[in-house]
Structure 1
Amino acid sequence: MELCQISGQLAFKSGHLPRNSVTRMTGAPDVKSPNRIFITGMGFVGQALAIDLKKQGWDVSGTCTSINKKKRLAEEMGFDMYLFDANEPDLATIDVMKFHTHMVVSIPPVTGFGDPMLQHEQLLRKALLGGNLQWLCYLSSTSVYGDCGGAWVDEDYPPNPTREVGKLRLAAEKGWLQLGQSLGLSTKVFRLGGIYGPGRSAVDTIIKQEALSKSQRMRGYRQFTSRIHVEDICQAIEASIRMSSSREIYNIVDDDPSPREAVFEYARDLVDRKWPGWIKQSSEKRESTETDKQDGLLGEKRVCNAHMKKELGVRLLHPSYRSGLQNIIDQMDKPFSTL
């Protein structure tokens, strides 16, 4: 995550706006809908959710850390955007959150720093107390379970993260649950599997013929990796908004925890059938190391999604990577590297 220092983006001070309205002042969102969502961290998932909800008539606001990205999301996509600097947060950006009815936190923790927003918990608590916020969801990761030897794990399985990223995620989960509960909000934690979707999938990696990242190489040694298509993340969030449930934590994964090798083999077959001859060389340009292998084997688990289906009523659009990858390639007219 980029931790830039940009201040003075908004001119109004905390507490200067009436509770039930937000006027157009230096970028503050107009209230057009009774449903108003604030998404911290408008990345891959945040943007997909924002686009989906905007189509349904929601007012959507969010944060990013780049001026160029703020301009694109605001001017080209029509969202009310605010710059968030974890080192020097603008009080007005935090203050505007309380004029929304729902909030999704989609900012990952940073090594050596922790959760960027929870570093300012007292500011958040003060700003959100007495506001309009009713529902809060923190997007976490199945990495909090650690290595389970390939066993099936559900939300009641004791988390035991083995890597630093998982430990930071678990700490962030606890922090957001405590904050939300103290404010009287309906608070949820969604533990997401490996996220994929259009522009971010095995199909995309093969078409672009890119070298694999360290995390991808590590996952190559696992017998099981749980995944989730971004469309199914969005529908799970929307289901949680619509219905009341007592459970606080949900696993958001598909039905088919599978080895990375099988996923890439299927993706290669899809690409080769649609564009014969496109794959000229292996996309796996970097040799995996013994450290990659050891780290990858520490994450073995199969993640159960039964509570998501039963309690949130989610019917997966893509219960397997096969459906998800087929849907992605069906939307492509030609390989993007030729566009």
Structure 2
Amino acid sequence: MRLMIFGAGFSGLAIARELAGDCGFAGGTTRSHERFSNLEAAGLKPFIYQGGLPEGELGAALQDITHLVMSIAPDADGDPLLDAFSAGGLKQAMPRLEWVGYLSTVGVYGDHGGGWVDETTVCKPVSKRSVARVAAEKGWIDLAGRADVPAAVIRLSGIYGPGRNALKTLDSGRARRLIKPGQVFNRIHVADIGGATALLVRSRLGGIFNVTDDMPAPPQDVVEHAAGLMGVEPPPETDFETADLSPMARSFYGENKRVSNARIKAAGFSFAYPDYHAGLGALWNDGTWKG
């Protein structure tokens, strides 16, 4: 396998670590030379990518790539890589390509009043960023179909892991217990993103998969559980309606749903951290919560 991860950030690096033993070559892109050491530590050869059709050393490396993971979020102008590859097609840039994975978000489902959704649920995104994700998902599925390679759309819920979790937020004094009756969110440990993506890669599976935990829960419950692990008092409750929140933070609470992970389980994946109790407990016990 020769792997390229566009946008090798928190999730991309977890995928790289999980697939390190499978790869004859693994590369990843970033926007800054300052992050090269992070990519190299995960076993990736780093490349700079800032948009447009990949050229130079990166373009040459793509000629031998067999597996592509796209982890760059669309911006106001759309998906940069999708737009770059649309004219000539994927096989022109990557003639040996066998599989495509696109990291998306459960935000594409929009608001379902706390009800359950799965991969057959019609998407009705609320925010502009989720509308752009729906368009990008369709674009990658269509582009991979033209190249006759399977495409897996991997819809992720709220990501946490080493250095990015409720324990660290509490420790820094930034945690809040916002109360909005009936509100729930799903979460996913970054290691399970790596594991689930690796399963799809190794099986060359295409389709849409929710990669999310078993326990949609109110956000204040997660803060309380983290406080219990640390042996500290949780922050006071704050009413959501009167809380001082940024427009983006408030928009997250406009989407309320419970997301099913039955399809990725049926494909053979077992979660290492099926709920936030297991995930936060492991981070606390081994000290990796600090990052």
TM-score by structure 2 length? 0.88
Task: State how far apart, in whole Å, the 2-side matches of 1:88 and 1:103 are.
Answer: 15
Q: Structure 1, residues 155-192: CA drift from partner, whole Å, max 9, x if none? A: 01000001101001101101111111111111110111
C-alpha contact 1:95 1:127 (8 A) present in aligned 2 = no
Alignment match, 2:95:
131
How far 1:52 sits from its partner (Å)?
2.2
Aligned residue runs from structure 1 range 173-322, under 5 A: 173-210=137-174, 223-245=183-205, 248-272=207-231, 287-289=243-245, 295-310=251-266, 312-322=267-277
**Structure 1 residues 228, 78: closer, same or farther in 2, change over 3 A?**
closer
Task: State how far apart, in whole Å, the 1-side matches of 2:216 and 2:189 are.
Answer: 13
Alignment match, 1:150:
114
* Partner of residue 282 from structure 2, selected from 307, 317, 327: 327
Counterpart secondary structure, 2:164: coil
**Structure 1 residues 130, 239: closer, same or farther in 2, change over 3 A?**
closer
Of 320-329 and 90-99, deviating more is 90-99
Alignment match, 1:84:
49
Q: Structure 1, residues 220-243: CA drift from partner, whole Å, max 9, x if none? A: 676210111111111111111222
* Partner of residue 123 from structure 2, selected from 159, 183, 202: 159
Counterpart secondary structure, 2:63: helix
C-alpha contact 2:185 2:217 (8 A) present in aligned 1 = yes
Q: Computing the radius of gyration over CA atoms, which structure comes out larger, 1 or 2?
A: 1
**What amino acid is aligned across from residue 250 of structure 1 in structure 2?**
F
* Partner of residue 64 from structure 1, selected from 21, 27, 30: 30
Q: How many residues align?
A: 288
Task: State how far apart, in whole Å, the 2-side matches of 1:140 and 1:294 are.
Answer: 20
The one of the two structures with greater contact order (alpha-carbon pairs below 8 A, sep at least 6) is 2
C-alpha contact 2:175 2:223 (8 A) present in aligned 1 = no
Q: Which has the higher strand share?
A: 2
Query: Gaps spanning 5+ residues in structure 1: where?
Result: 1-34
**What amino acid is aligned across from residue 61 of structure 1 in structure 2?**
G
**Structure 1 residues 293, 43: closer, same or farther in 2, change over 3 A?**
closer
How far 1:92 sits from its partner (Å)?
4.5
Counterpart secondary structure, 1:117: helix
Query: Gaps spanning 5+ residues in structure 2: where?
Result: none
